[in-house]
């Protein structure tokens, strides 16, 4: 199962689209290296677009929690958007939907972040 990501920056927002299946820490390493550059940005506003995610297990959830914690500890905010049904169920079961900011679309996320 493959995993990739695409990063875009626009108007003070960093938008990362996650693609594929996130099931191991090894898959996260490359994204982690990219995010290390942004973690030091105080007040970073990050949107994680999950529209192209196929699968995520507990390791994938751990990755999301790690990103969330790093950004929040530095005064930033993270919003999840376009969550596929299977991943949304996982967020509901683990009650992580109450921790993350969740919006339906990128446009909705921009409204609360900008």
Q: Which of 8, 84, 6, 15 is nearest to 51 (CA)?
A: 84
State whether residue 108 is helix, strand or coil. Answer: helix
Has residue 35 got a pLDDT over 90? no
Has residue 105 got a pLDDT over 80? yes
Distances (CA, A) of 86 to 47, 50, 92, 114: 19, 11, 10, 29
pTM above 0.95, yes or no: no
> What topology is assigned to 3-113 in CATH?
Transcription Regulator spoIIAA (3.30.750)
Q: Where are the domains of the chain?
A: 3-113
Say which residue, 48 or 24, is predicted with more confidence.
Answer: 48
Q: Model confidence over 44-78: pLDDT tens digits?
A: 899 999 999 999 999 999 999 999 998 999 899 99
d(CA 65, CA 71): 10
The average pLDDT across 73-92 equals: 95
């Amino acid at each position: 199962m493959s995993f990739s990501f695409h990063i875009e920056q626009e108007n003070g927002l960093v938008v990362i689209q996650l693609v594929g299946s996130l099931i191991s820490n090894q898959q996260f390493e490359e994204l982690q290296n990219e995010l290390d550059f942004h973690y030091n940005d105080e007040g970073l506003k990050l949107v994680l677009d999950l529209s192209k995610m196929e699968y995520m297990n507990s390791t994938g959830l751990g990755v999301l929690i790690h990103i969330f914690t790093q950004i929040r500890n530095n005064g930033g905010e993270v919003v999840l958007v376009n969550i596929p049904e299977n991943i949304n169920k996982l967020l509901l079961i683990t009650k992580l939907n109450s921790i993350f900011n969740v919006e339906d679309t990128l446009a909705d996320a921009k409204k609360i972040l900008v």
